[in-house]
Amino acid sequence: MEPKFFKIPISVGSVSLRVAKGHFATRNSHTNYFIDVTEQQSCLREAETVARQLAQRDLTRNTMVDTILCLDGTRVIGTCLAHELTQGGNRSINTGRDIYLLRENLSRDGKLIFRDNARFMLDGKNVLLLLASVTTGSTVRKGMRCVQYYKGNVAGVASIYSHVKEVDGIPVVSLFNTNDLPDYASHHPDECPLCKAGQPLDAVIDKYGYAAL
């Protein structure tokens, strides 16, 4: 059965959050909501709106951004965010600077890797991790390990929605959080109460979207 989507009655500027309630499986957890950010990831106008709202926040604790590492298919948002951060109107410390954009490149075993010609965008650079949503923090940690491996500095973490306030001591700056979706829950698959109650999965979800079951 297809999930039934609705918009939560809270917006950030003109950014709204479209969700479906049910029983969903990710690679790392089971959740009772699927947060659909397809339009924000794919539509230029929506991406610009998200970027504009994120740029108004202190994403990196007043650290200049050299590179944005776009995870979860956030390359369009990342491009718009780089544009916003380098414009003079935001009074940003990044005004007038260049910002590199990197999208995730996964090895066969699921690790983030970058070719030699891209390493200069990480080596010695302040890197902002950009995600669509943060649930358990595992994807953030993967990004952190990657940046550190290539001798970069994780300057901050930004997302549209986050279920956690920080990951390994670094705050997650998000437009929406658990205050906006108070009954959101995430569990390890072995500890999922929905599974224990016999509720079948509605869909499998990943950074590309969902596959209904």
Segment 180-185 long-range contacts (CB within 8 Å, at least 24 positions apart): 180/8, 180/10, 180/17, 181/8, 181/17, 181/19, 181/33, 183/32, 184/31, 184/32, 184/33, 185/31, 185/32
- Print pLDDT tens along the chain (213 aa): 788 999 999 999 999 999 999 999 998 899 999 999 999 999 999 999 999 999 999 999 889 999 999 999 999 999 999 999 998 765 678 888 899 999 988 888 878 999 999 999 999 999 999 999 999 999 999 999 999 999 999 999 999 999 999 999 999 999 999 999 999 999 999 999 999 999 999 999 988 899 998
What pLDDT score does 89 carry? Answer: 65
What pLDDT score does 9 carry? Answer: 94
What pLDDT score does 90 carry? Answer: 55
DSSP 107-151: -TTS-B---GGGGGGTTT-EEEEEEEEESSSHHHHHHHHHHHHTT
Q: Is the distance from CB of 13 to CB of 53 less than 8 angstroms?
A: yes
Q: Helix/strand/coil (H, E, C) string of 61-100?
A: CCCCCCEEEECCCCHHHHHHHHHHHCCHHHCCCCCCCCCE
The SS3 call for residue 37 is: coil
Phi and psi at 199, nearest 5°, equal -80, 120
What pLDDT score does 96 carry? Answer: 84
Nearest residue to 57 via CA among 125, 158, 144: 158
